[in-house]
């Protein structure tokens, strides 16, 4: 030890001066700023609120619809951070950036704090009693079919109450709308496998061929898939998995592929049949119906139609034949066309040919209570609602968790039609574009303050009911949970039925405890069961095994030829769904705005991705402000030269360009939803996201793109930084 | 060609002329003072803003963490070297032409060091905690990090500053006594009385004075060399491409002397006019400084070439890349400008006609200083914008007005201090000029004498 | 306190590097990042913002290069002039490499950045005077400076947002340098808990925030001293040595070996504590 010459006398001296200093500083001049903070000691220490000790509560992530199980870390009664719930089947303790930002939705200073009633252009704060009374009043004399309820994907007990309320109102008009959802693929899956969303065993596959499914980024349940992907990549008994991604615009998943194949937009189905044909030529026995459909798709035709070399097709077929089981996934790139359903059906054939159904495509765990399963949203719902509104058939509209004014294509003129509805109630955390049009805005609790349950659409091993519970006390006294609001509304109608439930919590508890035998709590004491459910943040359904019906047939499958050239609008617009922004509902969370887009590293703005070749042709350089014009409208954004895109396509991220939603979202970027053409998938009636044709023109302005990558872009300039090896150069087995 | 200092000039006239500079300079003096003051005001304004808001207003970033502040810091440290060169080195070498100009050169040393010191402060993120870099004993046993070149730097500068203040002061004592004796009563006289330390010009005082002055001069020379070597170590001891160069210390010292000499020419011209020193700061002296400057320019050019060559022929790809970037990248105009100003412009000084041409030399000296300032910038910034890590290469990083304002203000601050000094203290050494005149006349007499002596000797020899 | 005392104990003042006579005793925290598993999704970076009270600087300051992400995901393309990046992109999470012979430590004039006994490159905010020499000398440029007063004048956390701040981590004021700490607050807590129970921290007992979030589990973190820890086994398998005197085993073999582990800028001999595992791409397709 180092000798210290600090002796007792010195110590006393210091103590003396220090003591004086403390005494002086106690005279009003403390470290607590006057009026800014107060320190009040607990008279009685609340349970689990030991100063300096973190406590953890489990709940459910509400940032997207994947429904990951989360653990909130609390200190002194405040949520600090969200972690993945380690006992979850879905996300196994992991979390994405979007989920992490959930705390910023909760603490966001732009939250709605009071019920607001429209008074001219302003919202006037009113009391809850008055607000709920007003709803009752406005509903009086309105026929059931003139009431509409618009939601996002909704499940769990809120859905139960919602349905009961709709029933009490005598309406069936529940529109479940999601601006970006795999709804065409759902329909195709239903046809091919008998279920909307089968369980994809990425971890079991040796080869994955993904047609634009961004399962590592923003598709269905990315955190769950990412963990399967990690297993898939490990050199385990299956060997290291090979990922082939076929899409016109590179997604995050495409950026992680062993082979990324740029394809002419819309020809995914042709490519799939080409691979089927090549598999047949390679000696794989094809069922007769499939062989009949695929036989004309020889290498030459595929190359001509898709722009992918025949050699590539042959190589892929050889790989698929050699390594089994594989997994073929149809994603949003394939489904976003007028022939999206055919594309998805053609891709599904590949799985049948390769014998993947039952091996890497499994039946999902079933949920014994259909009333709580998710009513998945789609894009045709908003069209249906829009039609009703246009005809003046909607007198009262409720809206929860959807923002169609922002996300609906401008061709629908949704905002205009919305104004034809005499009374519009929006339940919202933030004043988004739709809430701004409302007559009454009811402020919701944040997902970290509210009670609730949900059933994720995509589940792991077993089906589960996720529990959302308050991680902390309400930040704002005048917000309410959606369940509580629905309960109050129901009490207006069915007083007798619901009078026993003081609040949504008591309803929830009794509803779950009542069914504990089906929830794995057979024979348990009510309190024990309930406490255990809350502490794990989920309950599992005991359910019968589901089964797939592999009935995908090639009969009637007709693929249109590649899209004709359009000289007025020569480029395909591929709106991209980024992992952070999705449909834009989280754009007001600054972490997400500041977190660089993984592929372009751009922050705080929209951009237009162009292949350098296309850009050169148009004379565009990076940072040029370009105007992207479709038949439905135009936006202006900065051009970014991006090698991972087909030269016939341009890509613009969705979710930017809010005109409301608070300080961090408003005015950032341009809204690409607005310029989408109203073209729908012929079978499902879903808006075909990738069917919009655009032209690009320079505006003459140029900016420095605000991005994380430096002046040399993605080059390593000959320095060994991020190194890549090919599989024959490294020995992966035996790795720790 | 103009005349050198007259040998016949009376001592009383020397006193009179120099003392007049303390009282009645030309009106230009006041103009310069006002301009300098307003420049300084701009700098202070910028610094206050930066202090309040944070360093970010200077538009520094990761990786460009230093920018113009450190570049200008080296520039001012460099400026300080010529004072020592003129007064100490040339003193030891008995070059008598230094005598009329060494005083202001020494003052320049002191004030440019003070200016440089300001930049150390200005560039600190938390300048209110600057004293953490001072090794003061404390109960927590927290010492500064003696491994850090920046700490050596701080110490070297502080030592150099204090030594050069002492050197300047000691060399002024006899002149302060003259001021004391000749000025009218007032606060100034009181000041001179105190500062003259009771100088009476006795034999014993002169003897002690000479020994002390010589000792401090001897002490100062290695210090001056080490100071800029240590500043060079800030860079050479780091691990960054473009900085990690062995030849940096001599290169920095040569650059320092170079910029210092150029600054002396500039100030020579200004002082000569403003304080009416035409009789003392004569053109033959200018010619000598110009020749010296040219010699140093060639040394610098050589060392510059050595640096390029050692990088070019090394296997250090990163350093090579920085060099290429300097010559071809975004900094290329400045880099070529620096080479032009530093290595081509000095050849004007080869032309005899121009060596004594005041306007030409004034212009040349300004260009040389611009070149030297650019040199410092070209040492600091390109390495940041093109370091080891390509992801952080940065082409979009230009100093903001705040940064420029502070750099601009530093020139005001220096001019303010310097002109203030010249107004308050004799900027030409009276006693040394007297010595010079005396020695020169003596030498001439000696020649005459020896000539006569030879005749006498011959005569004597002949007599034998 | 006295100068003589300082001189007598000189060697002890700054001697935490694992030199031959003084290796790491109980802990040496180290990390490995499997670039083959990393999907570049940015979850680690956001988790770091949440855990370490990193300020969101906004568009203008991001443009000025003043962003504060301690963990940045870099995206590279192949340099070979192909029309399409048909083997995908390269992602690299870059954070403070916690070098054993850290270039930043030796140059700090006030000793604000130090090596700790368990091999971390620590940053003492209170001591920092903001000379930024450490950043100037960092080969990886992973040190971030507080160019503005983010909590006050910049108002990065308005209103309720302050309640999210992690009380275990200082909110830095203007003028100090900061960087990845390997979540030292979590490490200290784990060490304290272990000490109370009279043991060492178990492997896997403590996770950094980035590691905890990473959906593909690309990040491994642990104690390199304990030979059975996952991190130590990984380093050993890849034959990467912490203080290799010259080259790693991988670099010594002609044409490279079949190992994947490497450290960035090995030749600078900073001895980083972060090992990267090469990204792998299938040769058959």
Residue A164 pLDDT: 93
Tokens 């010529």, residue located: B82
Quick one: pLDDT at residue A200? 93
Q: How many CB atoms lie within 10 A of CB A494?
A: 14
Residue A277 banded pLDDT, cuts 50, 70, 90:
very high
Residues in chain A within 8 Å Cβ distance of B393: 710-712, 717
Higher-pLDDT residue of A695, B138: A695
The reported pLDDT for the residue numbered A572 is 94
Contact B148 C61 (CB under 8 A): no
| Closest residue of chain A to C61, computed from CA coordinates | A706
Residue-wise pLDDT for A61-116, tens only, equals: 999 989 999 999 998 888 999 999 999 989 999 999 999 999 999 999 999 999 99
Q: Does B456 have pLDDT greater than 80?
A: no
Nearest residue in A to C44, CA atom:
A97
Closest CA to B433 of B45, B65, B170, B98: B98
| Residue A466, both tokens | 């996720």
The Cα A337–Cα A328 span in angstroms is 19
Provide, as residue numbers in chain C, all residues whose Cβ is less than 8 Å from the Cβ of B142.
111, 127
| Burial class, B44, CB count within 10 angstroms (exposed 0-12 / middle 13-18 / buried 19+) | middle
Q: What rounded mean pLDDT belongs to chain B?
A: 87
* Lookup: tokens for A279: 């598999």
pLDDT confidence of residue A31: 40
The rounded distance, in Å, linking the Cα atoms of A599 and A250 is 8
pLDDT-above-90 percentage for chain A: 68
The answer to whether residue C147 neighbours chain B at the CB level (below 8 Å) is: yes
Domain ranges of chain C: 25-277
CA nearest to B423, candidates B18, B14, B36, B23: B23
Contact residues, chain C, for B388 at CB < 8 Å: 139-140, 265, 268
Domain A183-362 of CATH type 3.40.50.1100: no
Distance CA A733, CA A238 (A): 11
Bridge partners (DSSP) listed for residue A649? A572
Which H helix or E strand runs over A694?
Answer: strand A693-702
What CATH number does the domain located at B11-459 have?
Answer: 1.20.1630.10
d(CA A364, CA A459): 7
In this prediction, residue B36 carries a pLDDT of: 94
For A116-179+369-540, CATH gives 3.40.50.740
Q: Residues A243, C87: contact at Cβ < 8 Å?
A: no
Closest CA of chain C from A47, distance in Å: 20
Cβ(A725)–Cβ(C36) below 8 Å: no
List the one residue out of A520, A544, A538, A532 whose CA is nearest residue A455. Answer: A538
Q: What kind and span of H or E run contains C188?
A: helix C184-196
How many angstroms separate the CA atoms of B7 and B441, rounded?
Answer: 6
Q: pLDDT of B108-124, one tens digit each?
A: 999 999 999 999 999 99
Region A312-335: mean pLDDT is 92
Does position A18 have pLDDT exceeding 50, yes or no?
Answer: no
Cα separation, A75 vs A56, in Å, equals 9
> What CA–CA distances, in Å, run from A542 to A166, A452, B131?
29, 20, 69
In this structure, are residues A470 and A449 in contact, taking their beta carbons and an 8 Å threshold?
A: yes
SS3 percent helix, strand, coil of chain B, rounded to 5, is 75, 0, 25
Nearest Cα residue to B156 out of B97, B74, B89, B96: B74
**Overall size of chain B counted in residues:** 464
Q: What is the mean pLDDT of chain C?
A: 89
Quick check: B256 pLDDT over 50?
yes
Cβ-based neighbours of C228, under 8 Å, separated by 6 or more: C203
pLDDT of amino acid A29: 38
Strand-pairing partners, residue A608, are: A639
Chain A residue whose CA is closest to B139 = A6
By the 8 A CB rule, do A451 and A156 touch?
A: no
Asked if B126 lies within 8 A of C128 by C-beta distance, the reply is yes
Give the span between the Cα atoms of A529 and A464, in whole angstroms.
15
What is the radius of gyration, based on Cα positions, of chain B?
A: 24
Going through A35-106 in order, the beta strands assigned E by DSSP cover 55-60, 69-75, 78-84
For the record, the structure tokens of A333 come out as: 């790139």
**ipTM passes above 0.85:** yes
8 A C-beta contact, residue C113 and residue C143: no
pLDDT at A446 over 70: yes
Record: contact B238-C128, CB cut-off 8 A? no
- Contact list in C for residue A601 (CB cut-off 8 A) is 75
Chain C partners of A319 at a C-beta cutoff of 8 Å? Answer: 284-285
Answer for the pair B55, C147: CB distance below 8 angstroms, yes or no: yes
DSSP 3-state of A153: coil
Instruction: Average the pLDDT over A5-22 and give the result.
Output: 49
Residue C258's pLDDT is what? Answer: 85
**Closest by CA position to A243, among listed A257, A231, A255, A253:** A257
Cβ distance B154 to C129 less than 8 Å, yes or no, reads no
Between residues B429 and C233, the one the model is more confident about: C233
Residue C65 reports pLDDT greater than 60? yes
Q: Hey, where are the domains in chain A? A: 116-179+369-540, 183-362, 571-702
pLDDT beyond 80 at B6: no
Backbone angles phi, psi at B95, to 5 degrees: -90, 105
Q: Do C136 and B127 touch (CB under 8 A)?
A: no
Chain B segment 366-395 residues within 8 A of A by beta carbon are: 385, 388-395
Chain C stretch 49-78, residues whose beta carbon is closer than 8 A to a beta carbon of chain B: 61, 64-67, 74, 76
In chain B, residues with a C-beta closer than 8 Å to the C-beta of C270 are 239
The answer to whether B141 faces chain A, any CB pair under 8 Å, is yes
Does residue A114 contact residue A129 with C-beta atoms inside 8 Å?
A: no
Class of domain C25-277: alpha beta
Residue A568 sits at the chain B interface (C-beta within 8 Å):
no
pLDDT tens string C35-44: 999 999 999 9
Chains that touch B (3 or more CB pairs under 8 A): A, C
The predicted-structure confidence for A645-680, as pLDDT tens digits, reads as follows 999 999 999 999 999 999 999 999 999 999 999 999
Residue A73: asked if its preceding bond is cis (omega within 30°), the reply is: no
Tell me the HSE value of A420 on the side-chain side, using a 13 A CA sphere: 15
Instruction: Specify the CATH architecture of the domain A571-702.
Output: Beta Barrel (2.40)
Q: What is the mean pLDDT of residues C157-180?
A: 92
Report the SS3 class of residue A247: strand
At A385, the pLDDT band (50, 70, 90 cuts) reads: very high
- From B395's Cα to the closest Cα of chain A, the distance in A is 6
Size of interface A-C (CB pairs under 8 A): 296
Segment holding A725, helix H or strand E? strand A724-726
Scanning every residue of chain B, which has its alpha carbon at the shortest distance from the alpha carbon of A601?
A: B391
Rounded to whole angstroms, how far apart are CA atoms C187 and C222?
10
Q: Which residues does chain C have within 8 Å of residue A5's beta carbon, measured at their own beta carbons?
A: 1-2, 5
Calculate how close chain C gets to A216, using CA atoms only, in Å.
Answer: 7
Which residues are paired to A573 by β-bridges?
A650
Res. A3: pLDDT tops 50: no
Mean confidence (pLDDT) of chain A: 89
Measured distance CA(A638)–CA(A615) in Å, rounded:
12
Q: How confident is the model at residue A9, as a pLDDT?
A: 57
Q: Quick one: closest CA in C to B238, which residue?
A: C137
User: Which strands, in side-by-side order, build the sheet including A452-454?
Assistant: A452-454, A464-468, A538-540
Which residues of chain B have a CB within 8 Å of the CB of A709?
A: 391
Q: pLDDT band at residue A2, thresholds of 50, 70 and 90?
A: very low
A to B CB pairs, distance under 8 Å: 32
Say whether residue A18 is in contact with chain B using an 8 A CB cutoff: no
What residue of C is the nearest CA neighbor of B121?
C131
Q: Per the omega criterion (within 30 degrees of 0), is the bond before A356 cis?
A: no
CA–CA gap between residue A522 and residue A526 (Å, rounded): 10
Kindly determine whether residue C5 and residue A97, on different chains, have CB atoms separated by under 8 Å: no
pLDDT digits (tens, 9 = 90+) for B58-86: 989 888 999 899 999 999 998 888 777 77
Flag the least confident range among A246-260, B140-154, C197-211.
B140-154
Residue A44's pLDDT is: 73
Candidate from C37, C39, C279 with C-beta closest to A724: C279
Nearest to C102 by CA among C67, C69, C135: C135
Per-residue pLDDT at C12: 62
Mutate to test the interface with C, among B51, B68, B148, B322 (most CBs of C within 10 A): B148
pLDDT reported for residue A563: 86
Find the mean pLDDT for residues A466-491: 93
**Residue-wise pLDDT tens digits, A569-582:** 999 999 999 999 99
Rg (CA), chain C: 20
pLDDT of residue A552 exceeding 70, the answer is no
Residue to substitute from B328, B391, B395, B397, interface A, most A β-carbons within 10 A: B391
Q: What is d(CA A405, CA A671) in angstroms, rounded to the nearest whole number?
A: 11
Q: Which residues, in sequence order, are CB contacts of A661 under 8 Å at separation 6+?
A: A110, A430, A431, A432, A433, A587, A588
Name the residue of chain B whose CA is nearest to A713's CA. B391
- Using alpha carbons, select from B391, C40, C92, C74 the residue that is nearest to residue A254: C40
Across B196-200, B353-357, B458-462, C139-143, the highest mean pLDDT is recorded for C139-143
Secondary structure (DSSP) of A517-532:
GGGT-TT--HHHHHHH
Nearest to A716 among C76, C158, C234 (CB): C76
Query: How far, in Å, CA of B187 to CA of B202, rounded?
Result: 26
- Find the DSSP H helices in A307-339: 310-322, 332-335
- Residue C16 is predicted with a pLDDT of 55
Q: Do residues C109 and B154 lie in contact, with contact meaning Cβ atoms separated by under 8 Å?
A: yes
For residues A580-587, give the mean pLDDT. Answer: 92
């Amino acid at each position: 030890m180092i000798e210290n010459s600090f002796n007792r006398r010195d110590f006393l001296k210091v103590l003396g001066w220090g003591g004086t200093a403390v005494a002086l500083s106690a005279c009003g001049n403390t470290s607590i700023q006057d009026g800014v903070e107060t320190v009040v000691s607990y008279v009685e220490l609340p349970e689990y609120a030991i100063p300096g000790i973190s406590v953890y509560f489990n709940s459910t992530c509400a940032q997207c619809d994947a429904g990951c199980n989360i653990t909130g870390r609390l200190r002194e009664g405040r949520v600090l951070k969200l972690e993945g719930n380690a006992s979850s089947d879905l996300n196994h303790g992991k979390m994405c950036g979007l989920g992490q930002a959930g705390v910023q939705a909760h603490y966001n200073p732009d939250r709605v704090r009071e019920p607001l009633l429209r008074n001219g252009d302003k919202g006037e704060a009113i009391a809850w009693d008055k607000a709920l009374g007003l709803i009752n009043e406005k509903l009086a004399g309105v026929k059931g079919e003139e009431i509409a309820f618009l939601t996002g994907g909704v499940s769990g007990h809120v859905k139960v109450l919602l349905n009961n309320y709709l029933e009490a109102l005598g309406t069936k008009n529940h529109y479940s709308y999601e601006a970006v959802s795999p709804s065409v693929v759902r329909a195709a899956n239903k046809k091919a496998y008998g279920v909307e969303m089968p369980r994809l065993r990425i971890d079991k596959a040796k080869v994955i061929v993904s047609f634009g499914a961004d399962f590592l980024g923003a598709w269905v349940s990315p955190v769950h898939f990412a963990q399967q992907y990690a297993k898939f990549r490990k050199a385990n008994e299956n060997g290291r998995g090979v990922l082939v991604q076929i899409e016109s615009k590179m997604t995050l998943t495409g950026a992680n592929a062993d082979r990324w194949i740029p394809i002419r937009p819309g020809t995914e189905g042709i490519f799939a049949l080409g691979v089927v044909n090549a598999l047949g030529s390679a000696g794989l026995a094809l069922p007769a119906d499939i062989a009949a459909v695929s036989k004309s798709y020889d290498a030459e035709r595929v190359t001509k139609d898709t722009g992918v070399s025949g050699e590539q097709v042959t190589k892929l077929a050889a790989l698929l034949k050699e390594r089994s089981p594989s997994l073929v996934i149809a994603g949003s790139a394939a489904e976003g066309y007028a022939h999206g359903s055919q594309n998805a059906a053609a891709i599904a054939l590949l799985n049948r040919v390769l014998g993947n159904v039952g091996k890497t495509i499994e039946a999902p765990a079933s949920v014994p209570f259909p009333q709580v399963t998710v009513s998945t949203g789609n894009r045709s719902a908003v069209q249906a609602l829009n039609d009703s509104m246009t005809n003046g058939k909607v007198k009262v509209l409720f809206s929860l968790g959807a923002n169609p004014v922002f996300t609906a294509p401008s061709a629908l003129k949704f905002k205009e039609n919305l104004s034809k509805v005499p009374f519009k109630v929006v339940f919202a955390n933030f004043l988004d574009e739709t809430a701004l049009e409302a007559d009454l805005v009811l402020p919701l609790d944040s997902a970290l303050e509210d009670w609730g349950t949900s059933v994720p659409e995509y589940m792991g091993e077993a089906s589960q009911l996720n529990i959302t519970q308050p991680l902390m006390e309400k930040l704002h006294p005048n917000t309410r949970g959606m369940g509580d609001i629905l309960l109050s509304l129901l009490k207006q109608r069915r007083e007798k039925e619901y009078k026993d439930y003081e609040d949504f919590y008591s309803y929830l508890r009794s509803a779950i405890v009542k069914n504990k035998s089906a929830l794995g709590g057979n024979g348990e004491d009510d309190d024990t069961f309930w406490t255990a459910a809350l502490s794990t943040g989920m309950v599992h359904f005991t359910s019968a095994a589901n089964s797939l019906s592999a009935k995908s047939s090639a009969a009637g499958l007709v693929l249109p030829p590649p899209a004709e050239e359009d000289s007025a609008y020569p480029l395909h617009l591929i709106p991209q769904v980024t992992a952070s922004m999705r449909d834009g509902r989280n754009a007001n969370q600054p972490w997400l705005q500041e977190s660089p887009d993984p592929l372009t590293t751009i922050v705080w703005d929209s951009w237009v991705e162009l292949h350098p070749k296309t850009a050169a042709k148009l004379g565009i350089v990076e940072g040029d402000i370009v105007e992207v014009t479709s038949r439905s409208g135009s936006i202006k954004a900065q051009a970014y030269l991006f090698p991972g895109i087909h030269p016939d396509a341009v890509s613009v991220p969705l979710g930017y360009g809010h005109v409301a939603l608070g300080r961090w979202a408003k005015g950032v970027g341009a809204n690409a939803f607005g310029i989408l053409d109203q073209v729908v998938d012929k079978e499902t009636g879903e808006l075909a996201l990738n069917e919009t044709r655009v032209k690009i023109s320079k505006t003459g302005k140029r900016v420095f793109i605000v991005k994380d990558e430096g002046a040399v872009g993605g080059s390593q300039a000959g320095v060994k930084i991020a190194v890549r090896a090919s599989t024959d150069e490294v020995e992966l087995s035996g790795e720790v | 060609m103009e005349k050198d200092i007259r040998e016949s000039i009376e001592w009383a006239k020397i006193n009179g002329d120099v003392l007049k500079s303390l009282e009645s300079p030309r009106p230009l003096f006041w103009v310069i003072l006002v301009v300098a003051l307003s420049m300084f005001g701009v700098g202070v304004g910028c610094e206050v803003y930066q202090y309040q808001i944070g360093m970010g207003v200077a538009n520094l970033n990761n990786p460009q963490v230093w920018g113009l502040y450190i570049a200008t810091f080296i520039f001012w440290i460099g400026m300080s070297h010529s004072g020592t060169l003129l007064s100490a080195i040339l003193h030891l070498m008995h070059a008598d032409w230094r005598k009329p100009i060494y005083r202001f050169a020494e003052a320049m040393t002191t004030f440019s060091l003070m200016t440089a010191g300001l930049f150390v402060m200005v560039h600190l993120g938390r300048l209110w905690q600057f004293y953490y870099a001072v090794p003061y004993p404390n109960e927590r046993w927290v010492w500064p990090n003696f491994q850090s070149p920046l700490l050596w730097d701080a110490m070297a500068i502080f030592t150099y500053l204090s030594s050069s203040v002492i050197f300047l002061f000691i060399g002024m004592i006899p002149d302060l006594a003259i001021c004391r004796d000749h000025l009218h009563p007032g606060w100034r006289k009181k000041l001179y009385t105190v500062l003259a330390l009771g100088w009476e010009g006795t034999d014993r005082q002169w003897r002690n004075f000479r020994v002390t002055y010589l000792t401090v001069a001897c002490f100062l020379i290695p210090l001056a060399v080490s100071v800029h070597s240590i500043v060079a170590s800030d860079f050479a001891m780091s691990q960054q491409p473009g900085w990690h160069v062995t030849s940096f210390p001599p290169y920095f010292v040569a650059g320092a002397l170079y910029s210092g000499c150029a600054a002396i020419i500039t100030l020579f011209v200004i002082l000569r006019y403003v304080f009416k020193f035409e009789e003392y700061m004569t053109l033959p002296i200018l010619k000598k400084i110009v020749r010296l400057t040219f010699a140093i320019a060639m040394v610098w050019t050589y060392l510059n070439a050595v640096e390029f060559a050692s990088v070019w022929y090394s296997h250090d790809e990163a350093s090579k890349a920085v060099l290429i970037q300097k010559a071809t990248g975004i900094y290329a105009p400045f880099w070529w400008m620096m080479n032009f100003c530093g290595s081509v412009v000095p050849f004007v000084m080869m032309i005899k006609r121009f060596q004594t041409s005041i306007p030409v030399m004034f212009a040349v000296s300004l260009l040389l200083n611009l070149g030297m300032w650019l040199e410092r910038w070209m040492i600091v910034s390109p390495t940041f914008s093109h370091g080891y890590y390509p992801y952080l290469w940065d082409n979009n990083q230009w100093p903001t007005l705040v940064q420029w304002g502070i750099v601009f203000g530093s020139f005001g601050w220096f001019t303010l201090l310097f002109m203030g000094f010249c107004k308050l203290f004799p900027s030409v050494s009276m006693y040394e000029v007297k010595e010079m005149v005396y020695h020169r006349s003596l030498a001439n007499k000696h020649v005459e004498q020896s000539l006569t002596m030879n005749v006498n000797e011959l005569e004597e020899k002949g007599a034998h | 306190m006295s100068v003589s005392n300082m001189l007598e104990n000189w060697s002890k003042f700054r001697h935490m590097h694992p030199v031959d006579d003084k290796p790491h005793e109980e802990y040496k925290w180290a990390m490995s990042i499997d670039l083959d598993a990393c999907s570049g999704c940015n979850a680690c970076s956001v988790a770091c913002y949440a855990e370490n009270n990193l300020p969101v600087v906004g568009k203008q300051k991001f443009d000025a290069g003043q962003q504060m992400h301690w963990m940045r995901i870099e995206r590279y393309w192949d340099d070979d002039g192909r029309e399409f990046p048909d083997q995908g992109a390269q992602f690299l999470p870059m954070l403070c490499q916690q070098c054993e012979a850290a270039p930043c430590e030796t140059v700090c004039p006030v000793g604000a950045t130090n090596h700790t006994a368990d091999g971390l490159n620590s940053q003492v905010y209170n001591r920092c005077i903001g000379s930024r020499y450490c950043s100037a000398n960092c080969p990886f440029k992973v040190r971030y400076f507080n160019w503005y007063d983010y909590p006050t004048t910049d108002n990065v956390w308005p209103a309720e947002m302050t309640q999210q701040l992690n009380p275990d981590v200082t909110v830095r004021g203007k003028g100090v340098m900061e960087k990845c700490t390997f979540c030292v607050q979590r490490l200290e807590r784990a060490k304290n808990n272990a000490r109370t129970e009279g043991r060492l921290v178990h492997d896997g007992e403590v996770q950094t925030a980035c590691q905890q979030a990473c959906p593909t589990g690309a990040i491994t973190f642990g104690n390199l001293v304990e030979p059975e820890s996952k991190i130590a086994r990984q380093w050993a398998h890849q034959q990467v040595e912490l203080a290799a005197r010259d080259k790693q085993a991988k670099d010594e073999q002609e044409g490279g070996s079949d190992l994947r582990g490497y450290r960035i800028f090995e030749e600078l001999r900073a001895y980083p504590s972060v090992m990267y595992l090469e990204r792998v791409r299938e040769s058959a397709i």
